[in-house]
Amino acid sequence: MSQSRGRKPDWLRTQLPSGEEFTDVRETLRERNLHTVCEEANCPNLGECWSGRGGSGGGTATFMLMGDRCSRGCNFCDVKTGGMGPLDPDEPENVAEAVAEIGLDYVVLTSVDRDDLPDQGAGHFAETVREIKERHPGVLIEALVPDFQGERDLVRKVIDAGPDVIAHNVETVERLQRPVRDPRAGYEQSLSVLERVARDSDAYAKTSLMLGVGEYDHEVYRTLRDLREREVDVVTLGQYLQPSRSHLDVESYVHPQKFETWRRVAEEELDFLYCAAGPMVRSSYRAGELFVDALLRDGRSLEEARREAREAAGTSD
């Protein structure tokens, strides 16, 4: 069940971010010259995550490493392209200090693509993971990584740093890769990164799909099947929202009931450990983080972890 493109349906309304906790997080990031994908990509859940709603513990921010400009130009993304500067050597330490100041116990790290660098930024990413682990050994870390052009040794650098979750987003079905993503990205290349993470590390492998860009149901099913065959553990599905008129058009607005159907298919038929699915779900979505936290830190069973994550995020069955 979907609504064709046009006026946004009621189920996509969100509240503007506000509150003391939200302000404190923003000020901490500004003081340390840190970027977040929450702001750069205009995430609709920014207020919820930064304010710490939806579960115990502090707020959540997804730190975006290596600057706020990307070497690629994907048609769905609002991050600026080109004009990348040198890496900030203090960034790993600044991120680790911000984690302590904000009071996080689950950290999401992502980055722009840096095809201009010899190692595409893999070493910098890994150093940030290690810095947080050394200073805050109890913190769980999710690394949402680029594809590193499929270079196995670069993916290995991040694996060896020891994050608890390693995510890479396939973004959309195979047929729509070219109109949605930069030409340097690709379906098989992304699958190869996820397969390497799943089979060569102890980290949970995670990915994300956007719906509403023109995909058919059988293509979504095939993509989920392909991901599970590569032993991906966690998947999130959300509604694509157009950042500006110059970006990819929204082809349809997918109803929440349809997302729930995909959630059941992913977990009950294809045996993903966890699927967060809904119009406002994004890759770095708090429900997914709460699931991993319950599974790893609290030692909950699979069903308990699923239930706690959905209840905390307000998406219980």
Return the pLDDT at 119.
Answer: 98
In a domain? residue 2 = no
**3 or 216, higher pLDDT:** 216
pLDDT digits (tens, 9 = 90+) for 277-314: 999 887 655 667 778 888 888 888 999 998 888 876 66
In a domain? residue 281 = yes
In a domain? residue 209 = yes
- CATH number, position 164: 3.20.20
Q: What are phi and psi of 237, to 5 degrees?
A: -130, 130
pLDDT digits (tens, 9 = 90+) for 132-182: 999 999 899 999 999 999 999 999 999 999 999 999 999 999 999 999 999
Write out the residue range of the structural domain in which residue 192 sits.
14-313
Q: What is the pTM of this model?
A: 0.86
Judged by average pLDDT, the poorest of 14-18, 121-125, 232-236, 247-251 is 14-18
In a domain? residue 153 = yes
Q: What are phi and psi of 168, to 5 degrees?
A: -150, 130
The pair of three-digit structure tokens given for residue 162, joined into one six-digit string: 């020891």
Contact between 88 and 112 under an 8 Å Cβ cutoff? The reply is no
**CA–CA dist 216, 177 (Å, integer):** 14
Return the pLDDT at 52.
Answer: 47
Q: Which residue has the tokens 């770095």?
A: 284
In a domain? residue 239 = yes
Confidence of residue 117 (pLDDT cuts 50, 70, 90): very high
For residue 39, list its beta bridge partners.
none
In a domain? residue 5 = no
Q: Hey, what amino acid is at 191? A: L
In a domain? residue 146 = yes
**CA–CA dist 185, 70 (Å, integer):** 13
Q: In what order do the strands lie in the sheet with 165-167?
A: 35-36, 62-65, 106-111, 140-144, 165-167, 204-211, 234-239, 274-277
**317 C-beta neighbours (distance < 10 Å), count:** 9
Show Cβ contacts of residue 176 under 8 Å, excluding neighbours closer than 6 positions.
213, 214, 215, 219
In the chain, how many domains are there? Answer: 1
Return the pLDDT at 308.
Answer: 84
In a domain? residue 71 = yes
- Is the per-residue pLDDT at 33 higher than 90? no
pLDDT digits (tens, 9 = 90+) for 37-80: 555 445 444 444 444 433 444 556 688 899 989 999 999 988 88
Return the pLDDT at 243.
Answer: 85
